[in-house]
Amino acid sequence: MYDLYTGIGSIALYVASQCRQVVGIEEISAAVEDARINAERNGIRNARFYAGDVKQILTPEFALEHGRPDVLITDPPRAGMHPEVVRILLELSAPRVVYVSCNPATQARDLNLLQEKYDVLKVRPVDMFPHTHHIENVALLQLRDL
Ligand SMILES: C[S@@+](CC[C@H](N)C(=O)[O-])C[C@H]1O[C@@H](n2cnc3c(N)ncnc32)[C@H](O)[C@@H]1O
């Protein structure tokens, strides 16, 4: 399982017990250090974290080294994913993608690009920011039989 934009590894570490290996990528190196400490404190040994821009870390060589993920979770900032990252995801072709977003507008833009290979199976808005117009939105995507 890959967890892009992992922050301090909250999602990666939460699902780690159900995975052979989890791989988190986050650009803030202090957050990556915290993710590693969180893994150690929770006795999680199958999580690896990498510091850097997803666009630069998630290369074909990286995918070869870590394997094609069964599930890829992505939780980008409000700007959404860089078009180059969307292209890499299309090449990687993980069977399932979970796209967590705090900005449905950029998420819709990215889902529109991902629909080249993916169907959106489920969408679940979550009111994480009550009394504001903001909403967290989670989408489950499945790779289409091509
Ligand atoms: C919405 S938060 C996700 C937090 C995390 N998934 C969690 O549940 O705590 C987005 C994260 O992406 C990181 N980030 C922003 N741009 C990035 C980039 N280009 N490459 C890697 N990480 C990035 C931010 O530092 C932030 O931690």
pLDDT at residue 16, rounded to an integer:
98
Set out the domains of the chain in order of their start, with CATH numbers: 2-143 (3.40.50.150)
CA of 7, closest atom in ligand 1: 27
Q: Using one digit for the tens of pLDDT, what is the confidence trace for 51-90?
A: 999 999 999 999 999 999 999 999 999 999 999 999 999 9
Q: pLDDT averaged over consecutive 10-residue blocks of the chain (146 residues)?
A: 98 97 98 98 98 96 94 98 97 97 98 98 96 96 89
Closest residue by Cα to atom 13, ligand 1, is 5
CA of 3, closest atom in ligand 1: 6
Does the reported pTM lie above 0.85?
yes
Closest residue by Cα to atom 2, ligand 1, is 77
Catalytic residues: 102
126 touches 137 (CB < 8 A): yes
Whole-number Cα distances in Å, 118 to 77, 90, 93, 97: 21, 9, 9, 9
pLDDT at residue 118, rounded to an integer:
98
